[in-house]
Structure 1
Amino acid sequence: MSDLKVIDVAGQYDVVIGRGVVTSVADRIPEGALRVLIVHAPALQSVADALTGELAHRGLHPTSVALPDAEEAKTAAVAADLWARLGQEGFTRTDVVVAIGGGATTDLGGFVAATWLRGVPVVQVPTTLLGMVDAAVGGKTGINTLEGKNLVGAFHPPAVVVCDLSLLRTLPRADLVAGMAEVVKCGFIRDPRILELVADPGAALDIDGDVLPELVARAVQVKADVVAADLREASLREILNYGHTFAHAIEQVEHYGWRHGDAVAVGMVFVAELAHRAGLIDEALVAWHRSVLSSLGLPTEYRFDDDPQARWGALTTAMMRDKKTRGAMLRFVVLTGIGQTDRLEGPLPAQLYEAFEAVAIQVGTGTAGSGTSPQPVD
């Protein structure tokens, strides 16, 4: 692929993918802006400083704020602090928020932009693989509460998304691997070519190679196509949540100590096991989930140290708060084949628990499901 790829999302905004493109962010600030709030992950201070200097040189008034790390940024308290800053700086509807960081940063930055004056422009600059292929694209924004992940949020499409692949060099290896779960998800639900490309894990995870840029572009294209057909998740867009119902439950029960991508990997295996038990897919497709994910270094099992029934109860409670749940009925995005999706509504309790057993390992007892990868450590 060429060094620069631009993907249109529903005719509303572009996703710019390339190496070194972060230097063009100042050129992409929407016309008419005077004030710019730059929110960024702590490790990206130098990137934020460079943008601050460039914007000031152009006569704009930038303000830079370092956020707490990862999911700790996605709270009502942090959002309120940023609203206060916007008010103190006199931000108007033509002013802009720029979010530089991973999925938590872009989720929060987008949410603050969506809610200030009922909506100001946001420029998303994802710096993690997860952020590039998922969180920063599509216009979903949100914060977490004690009751669950992303239960408070808004749809707020960005003005532009700038994905600089060179920034992935700053990522810990475990974070790069975790981000690959969302790429694999796009392969299973829509683009089988992705599954072919990740068959060589070394090439897929090589930041300076040719395969990773194609994977990012293909995953973004999947999301762009789905979002264009269903901007507000009325129907089709739910397929982007493949594996996420169980994943979000893990994250909540583990107090957000798991990487999102790691939880999604286990969530995909869980829902594949569930679909198999419901007679929708064969055992070979379940095994393919495990093989693809484990070859990339992603977990395919869920380890815990308490009673399985108690843990299952906590996970079920968390899943009942999932956005796809209707009333008291759990709903899951499932596969009926590669690139073919459906909804499984109200699966039998026995099927659900059997799927849980297939991915569960109770630490210290030797009781194990059929997974093969260890639980990640953050």
Structure 2
Amino acid sequence: MRVGRGLLAGVVAAHADAIYLVDERLAHLLPASAAKRVLIEANETRKSLEAMPDVILKLRELGANRSTHIVSIGGGVLQDIATFAASVYMRGLKWTYMPTTLLGMADSCIGGKSSINVLGYKNLVGNFYPPVEVVIDIDFIRSLDAEQVIGGLNEAVKICYARGAQSFADYLADGPVWPLPPEIAQRLLTRSLTTKKWFIEIDEFDRKERLLLNYGHTFGHALEAATQFGVSHGVAVGLGMLVAIDFAKRGAHLTPAGTAQADALARHVEAMTDIVVESGVRWPRVDLAAVLQKFDNDKKHNSEFYRVVVPVRDGELELISIPRTDATRAALRTSYEAIFAQLGIDSAAQSSAA
């Protein structure tokens, strides 16, 4: 993995014969020598099982064979598409990933997971197929707006909080801010990726410790899907963390010390969310019944229990099982309603009949 500035030209020079899977909004940045291109509209619809045949056929049209190298340039959507397509095309092609969003740089670029939507359900299928190289060019951050940067910072703080109190404190000391200067971005990315590397090395295939990195995701994915992804992923993860904290506090999962630790995270996420709103982003109207239905169908649950990551005891994270009962669903609803009300998200009109 390399992190630096001005790295795009070197990647293209090293892979002149590669096929480039590129976010169509970034195509103008590629030199003409990167001639074989598959331009992709980077949205959740394209990151779906239904859209994968189109990508695979375009690889075929460009002459991809077992020795072809793929270079993916874009955010998390492009990463998911490239991971999946490279893994199944002729049983696997080598590939390089250049993340262009802060969310991709800070979190998803390492770990090798693809997460693909199916018929509107978020990340229902996927696999593990890591790139042979990850190259992070910090210059791409200059093209990102406040919502995109805050979304990435939400994932970064999630990783550091999951590692423990000291890691969380060190992250805050690095000074996450908007706008994000290159020197601070370098520190934050190094810390976030080094911390995530610890989770990957001890639990590569998501069996135990790495599952803690789902913090905020189960609650957040439901909000994304229920709004047809009108709330972006990184922002939804931040809101998901807030809902998880509220749920843990109402369920008496936390000691006084744990409440203080979780509240410190909540204050940070709320401050980041305020920046998103101040930048001009407006919340979509939310059908709370749809949110709860999407939550109910999350792939991480089983037939008897919901499986969610929440802060417990002194603030550390734990994957807990809670029974799928009417009482639990009422408690989940209460926590969503509390956070929506706090942030001024309109959910009452559509959820009143639910």
TM-score interval w.r.t. the shorter chain? 0.7 to 0.9
In structure 1, distance between residues paired with 2:201 and 2:314: 21
> Which of the residues 209, 229, 239 maps onto 1:236?
209
**Match of 2:263, SS?**
helix
Gaps of 5+ in 2: 347-354
User: What letter is aligned with 1:244?
Assistant: H
User: What letter is aligned with 1:75?
Assistant: S
The residue number in structure 1 matching 2:335 is 355
**Match of 2:189, SS?**
helix
1:290/1:339 CA distance change after superposition, 3 Å: closer
Check the 8 A contact 1:122/1:159 in 2, yes or no.
yes
Check the 8 A contact 2:157/2:168 in 1, yes or no.
yes
Q: How far does residue 197 in structure 1 lie from its aligned partner after superposition?
A: 4.2
User: Are 1:284 and 2:260 counterparts?
Assistant: yes
Check the 8 A contact 1:300/1:359 in 2, yes or no.
no
Check the 8 A contact 2:138/2:186 in 1, yes or no.
yes
Deviations 1:86-117 (A, max 9, x none): 22333222212211011111111111111112
1:170/1:300 CA distance change after superposition, 3 Å: closer
In structure 2, distance between residues paired with 1:92 and 1:35: 12
Of all paired residues, the percent bearing the same amino acid is 28
Check the 8 A contact 2:231/2:283 in 1, yes or no.
no
1:213/1:374 CA distance change after superposition, 3 Å: farther
In structure 2, distance between residues paired with 1:98 and 1:211: 27
The residue number in structure 1 matching 2:316 is 340
1:354/1:284 CA distance change after superposition, 3 Å: farther
In structure 1, distance between residues paired with 2:94 and 2:106: 20
> Which of the residues 298, 307, 311 maps onto 1:331?
307
User: What letter is aligned with 1:291?
Assistant: R
Task: Give the TM-score of the pair, scaled to structure 1.
Answer: 0.80
Q: Where is the helix percentage greater, Structure 1 or Structure 2?
A: 2
Task: Give the TM-score of the pair, scaled to structure 2.
Answer: 0.85
Kindly report which structure 2 residues correspond to 1:172-321, keeping only aligned pairs within 5 A, or say none. 172-190=145-163, 192-198=166-172, 204-281=177-254, 282=256, 283-297=259-273, 305=285, 311-321=287-297
User: What letter is aligned with 2:333?
Assistant: Y
User: What letter is aligned with 2:300?
Assistant: K
Kindly report which structure 2 residues correspond to 1:1-150, keeping only aligned pairs within 5 A, or say none. 15-26=1-12, 29=15, 35-47=17-29, 49-50=30-31, 53=33, 62-150=35-123
Deviations 1:131-185 (A, max 9, x none): 1112222111132122411112111111111111111101122211221110111
User: What letter is aligned with 1:25?
Assistant: V
RMSD over aligned CA atoms reads 2.8
Gaps of 5+ in 1: 1-14, 56-61, 361-367
Q: Where is the strand percentage greater, Structure 1 or Structure 2?
A: 1
In structure 1, distance between residues paired with 2:307 and 2:223: 17
In structure 2, distance between residues paired with 1:258 and 1:340: 27
